Amino acid sequence: MKPVRVLWILTLVGFVIGLVGVFQRVIGGHTVAAYNTYVPWGLWVAAYAMMIGLSVGAYLVAALAYGFRVQALKPVAPIALFAALATLAGGLMAIWLDLGHPDRFWRLFLATNPTSIMGLMVWFYTLYGILLIALIVLTQRNSDAGIVRNLSLLGLPLVIIFGGAEGALFGVVSAQALWESGLTPILFLVEGALSGVALVLFLSVVLDKATEDAVRWLRGLALGLLAAAIVLEWAEISTALYAGIPAKTASLNLVLFGPFWWVFWFFHVGLGIVVPALLLLFLNRRTWALATAGGLLALTAIASKLNLVIPALVVPEFEGLRTAFTGTGLTFNYFPTLAEWLLLVWIVSLSALVFLAGVWWMGRASVQTPRLTKA
């Protein structure tokens, strides 16, 4: 069975199963989630942050191909554009469904606070979405047109701005020691670029759309961004632990040695750093290894977002708060409910459907390109 057919089947199955989560969210609101007074954000916010990062990284590939005329990346650039649009749609759907009153989202457009990072980002996302659609249409007609290059270059500062601003949403919250840092926006950008490039690598190999030169470029980008992400994360964690700020140290200890230590050490470090790095470095001529490395880097990107969002919220702001008040919802414990996981499956499946539909549309008028030789 062809890989694209397998992806269609998995996506449709996930979409149908995930509809249970959608129904529960619509009927039960936030009561179906494990949120409470102290932990108002969880799995869906982490998914939003991850998917927006994927879009940033995927667009980077398209910008290099169309804007900077890197010919080696031209065969995979359409895939990058569709991946950028699909993950943007998924990320926005995740944060929209996380809102207490999703029906009021339009107020962000009509009453945008110019000093609000979140308010400004709504406009950036909108402009970015329009630009992606325009590029998809224009590149199908003539990918070498001057307008394609100009729009591609215009979109690059746009994704850098909202990609960094996404990290700034957390980085400027002085009340949360784990979030507040000048490195947070930069780390969001680098991790997003890494996961998006890795996603394009995975998709282009699995769908048999990549040339040898394209894979060489994507592998090099992934390794470089992975090295940068490791350095930034090491700097953030090591300096925080050395400084010994109680609130930040408590959150980091929870990440490293708490009940869910395996999210950091197994998923993030093991499957998200060590295994992909080994595959990219030593098995780079094997198509299955390249696809596996790209898939792992993209999939495990959610681990770093979960380790950022949740540990900061489950640590009390001051000693004694945990026992100062008691009652329903006054708890610092959080683990996603089945309804949260099901809704996430639906969101990811919806994003995949957008991508697969785009690839199908693109394939109707595409020309054949040299394929990557199977190992």
Residue 369's pLDDT is 46
Three-state DSSP string of the chain = CCHHHHHHHHHHHHHHHHHHHHHHHHHHHHHHCCCCCCCCCCHHHHHHHHHHHHHHHHHHHHHHHHHCCCHHHHHHHHHHHHHHHHHHHHHHHHHHHHCCCHHHCCHHHHCCCCCCHHHHHHHHHHHHHHHHHHHHHHHHHHCCCHHHHHHHHHHHHHHHHHHHHHHHHHHCCCCCCCCCCCHHHHHHHHHHHHHHHHHHHHHHHHCCCCCHHHHHHHHHHHHHHHHHHHHHHHHHHHHHHHHCCHHHHHHHHHHHHCCCHHHHHHHHHHHHHHHHHHHHHHCCCCHHHHHHHHHHHHHCHHHHHHHHHHHHHCCCCCCCHHHHCCCCCCCCCCCCCHHHHHHHHHHHHHHHHHHHHHHHHHHCCCCCCCCCCCC
Residue 133's pLDDT is 95
Nearest-5° Cα angle at 164, 106 to 358: 65
Averaged pLDDT for residues 8-16: 95
Residue 104's pLDDT is 84
pTM of the model: 0.91
Whether 370 has a pLDDT exceeding 50, the answer reads no
Domains present along the chain, CATH in parentheses: 3-322+334-363 (1.20.1630.10)
Q: List pLDDT tens digits, range 306-333.
A: 999 999 888 887 777 777 777 777 888 8
* pLDDT-derived band at 253, boundaries 50, 70, 90: very high
* pLDDT-derived band at 366, boundaries 50, 70, 90: low
Whether 161 has a pLDDT exceeding 90, the answer reads no
Residue 220's pLDDT is 96
Averaged pLDDT for residues 119-125: 87
Provide the token pair at 262: 């395996």
Averaged pLDDT for residues 289-314: 94
From the number of C-beta atoms within 10 Å of its C-beta (0-12, 13-18, 19+), residue 286 rates as middle
Radius of gyration of the chain, Cα coordinates, nearest whole angstrom:
21
* pLDDT-derived band at 356, boundaries 50, 70, 90: very high
**Average predicted confidence (pLDDT) for the chain:** 90
Residue 100's pLDDT is 85
Whether 365 has a pLDDT exceeding 90, the answer reads no
* pLDDT-derived band at 172, boundaries 50, 70, 90: confident
Residue 318's pLDDT is 74
